[in-house]
């Protein structure tokens, strides 16, 4: 076992097996942070490229030094408290919050036991009862980047190389505004035969009825071949689908942080997004995309129409989006800020 994993200074738990926004954050960040500090993730379902240790090992690390336990979920905060107060492990407890809502009493209690807090946006920080350091998420611009040949990539993916593709990626649910995008698509696609809409993401059992309702609307309009639900794709395929797009839509009704617009923009794709989560911080309205009121299907339709009907402006916005992410939202900045906080806790 490498020395860093045998005796990590930071442990980042990930107690959820399926891919989620939090899991994606851990998978993206840990390999980059590992170049800066001895750090290991722990938990089920982590890919082999992520430095990680078994959960039992995290519970038995020697008491010879302080370490950081960096939680991102309630269950992980609770486990950190168990390790420190029951198993007497020497963990400094850190929690990252992305939520933009009033926390439950139990969550507030857990947060009150932490040694330090991180918020992923100023909005998330405003819902905490204690000071938090605001550290925005970043993306790996070496993974998310414009493709050398978009038409060739589309052919490899089985997509129309001549279409104008709008993407919306994430779980299929009402929170994400999928129904708003379907409503906009039913209007826009009637007079724009080259436009198609692609959606990827898991449909959980509680959202099956909602998803079926959207599919029924699409079928009734005869647009099955042009508004497509691709299902849950492997992460590498999600990245390639970002690169194949012309335009991205993120019409969420509410959001914690919301990383998908940043990933799309890093691929040179302008984004239309609701003013929720951190989107106002990430998107330069009119330059890298458009911000609209949440829950507003007519505004979404108009914003998408603007970019669909002006190819030169869309291309310029794509270039501006890529430059903006590279300059202000690269993942290295997020990793460095977190490592600096780890070192302050350990000092």
Indicate the pLDDT class of residue 2, thresholds 50, 70 and 90: low
- Could you list the residue range(s) of the whole structural domain that residue 309 is in? 150-328
Strand 271-274's sheet: what is its strand order? 227-229, 195-200, 164-169, 247-250, 271-274, 289-292
pLDDT at 25: 84
Do 65 and 80 share a structural domain? yes
Q: Is residue 134 part of a domain?
A: yes
Q: CB–CB of 111/97 below 8 Å?
A: yes
Do 338 and 233 share a structural domain? no
CA angle 307/305/212 to nearest 5° reads 115
Q: CB–CB of 241/167 below 8 Å?
A: yes
Tens-place pLDDT, residues 82-137: 999 999 999 999 999 988 888 889 999 999 999 999 999 888 899 998 999 999 99
pLDDT at 336: 97
Percent of the chain residues topping a pLDDT of 90: 82
pTM over 0.75: yes
Tens-place pLDDT, residues 254-290: 887 888 999 999 999 999 999 998 898 899 999 999 9
Do 203 and 131 share a structural domain? no
Do 91 and 74 share a structural domain? yes
Indicate the pLDDT class of residue 3, thresholds 50, 70 and 90: low
Q: Which two tokens mark 96?
A: 């990252």
Question: How many structural domains comprise the chain?
Answer: 2
Q: Residue 231: pLDDT above 60? A: yes
Q: Is residue 208 part of a domain?
A: yes
Query: What's 53's domain CATH number?
Result: 3.40.50.2000
Q: Residue 1: pLDDT above 60? A: no
Q: Residue 247: pLDDT above 80? A: yes
In whole angstroms, give the CA distance from residue 309 to residue 311: 6
Q: Which residues contact 251 (CB under 8 A, 6 or more apart)?
A: 168, 176, 177, 180, 181, 184, 272, 273, 274, 292, 294, 300
Burial bucket for residue 283 (CB in 10 Å: 0-12, 13-18, 19+): buried
Do 334 and 313 share a structural domain? no
Q: Residue 39: pLDDT above 90? A: yes
Do 295 and 186 share a structural domain? yes
Tens-place pLDDT, residues 141-191: 999 999 999 999 999 999 999 999 999 999 899 999 999 999 999 999 999
pLDDT at 45: 77
In whole angstroms, give the CA distance from residue 303 to residue 306: 5
Tens-place pLDDT, residues 314-326: 999 999 999 999 9
For the residues 29-54, what does the mean pLDDT come to? 92
Do 256 and 189 share a structural domain? yes
Name the average pLDDT for the chain. Answer: 94
pLDDT at 256: 77
Q: How far is CA 94 from the centre of its chain?
A: 20
Instruction: Using DSSP, state whether 286 is helix, strand or coil.
Output: coil
| Burial state string for 134-154 with b = 16 or more CB within 10 A and e = fewer than 16 | bbbbbbbbeebbebeebeebb
Q: Is residue 143 part of a domain?
A: no
Q: CB–CB of 171/232 below 8 Å?
A: no
In whole angstroms, give the CA distance from residue 225 to residue 69: 48
Do 316 and 334 share a structural domain? no
pLDDT at 155: 97
């Amino acid at each position: 076992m490498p020395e860093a994993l045998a005796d990590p200074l930071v442990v980042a738990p990930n107690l959820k097996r399926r891919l989620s926004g939090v899991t994606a954050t851990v998978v993206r960040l840990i390999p980059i942070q590992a170049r800066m500090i001895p750090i290991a993730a722990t938990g089920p379902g982590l890919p082999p490229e992520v430095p990680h240790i078994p959960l039992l090992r995290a519970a038995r690390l020697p008491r010879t030094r302080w370490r950081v336990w960096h939680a991102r979920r309630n269950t992980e905060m609770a486990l950190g408290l168990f390790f420190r107060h029951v198993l007497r492990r020497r963990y400094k407890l850190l929690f990252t919050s992305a939520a933009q809502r009033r926390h439950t009493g139990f969550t507030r209690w857990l947060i009150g036991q932490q040694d330090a807090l991180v918020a992923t946006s100023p909005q998330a920080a405003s819902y905490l009862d204690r000071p938090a350091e605001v550290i925005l998420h970043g993306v790996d611009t070496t993974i998310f980047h414009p493709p050398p040949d978009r038409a060739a990539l589309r052919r490899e993916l089985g997509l129309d190389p001549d279409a104008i593709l709008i993407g919306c990626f994430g779980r299929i649910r009402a929170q994400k505004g999928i129904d708003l995008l379907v409503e906009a698509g039913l209007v826009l696609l009637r007079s724009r035969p080259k436009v198609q809409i692609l959606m990827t993401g898991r449909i959980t059992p509680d959202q099956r009825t909602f998803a079926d309702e959207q599919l029924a609307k699409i079928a009734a309009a005869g647009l099955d071949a042009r508004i497509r639900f691709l299902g849950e794709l492997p992460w590498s395929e999600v990245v390639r689908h970002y690169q194949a797009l012309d335009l991205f839509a993120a019409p969420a009704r509410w959001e914690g942080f919301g990383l998908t617009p940043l990933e799309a923009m890093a691929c040179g794709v302008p984004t239309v997004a609701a003013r929720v989560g951190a989107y106002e911080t990430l998107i330069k309205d009119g330059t890298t995309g458009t911000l609209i009121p949440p829950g507003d299907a007519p505004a979404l339709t108009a914003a998408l129409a603007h970019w669909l009907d002006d190819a030169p402006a869309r291309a310029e916005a794509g270039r501006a989006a890529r430059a903006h992410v590279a300059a202000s939202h690269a993942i290295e900045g997020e990793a460095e800020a977190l490592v600096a906080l780890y070192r302050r806790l350990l000092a």
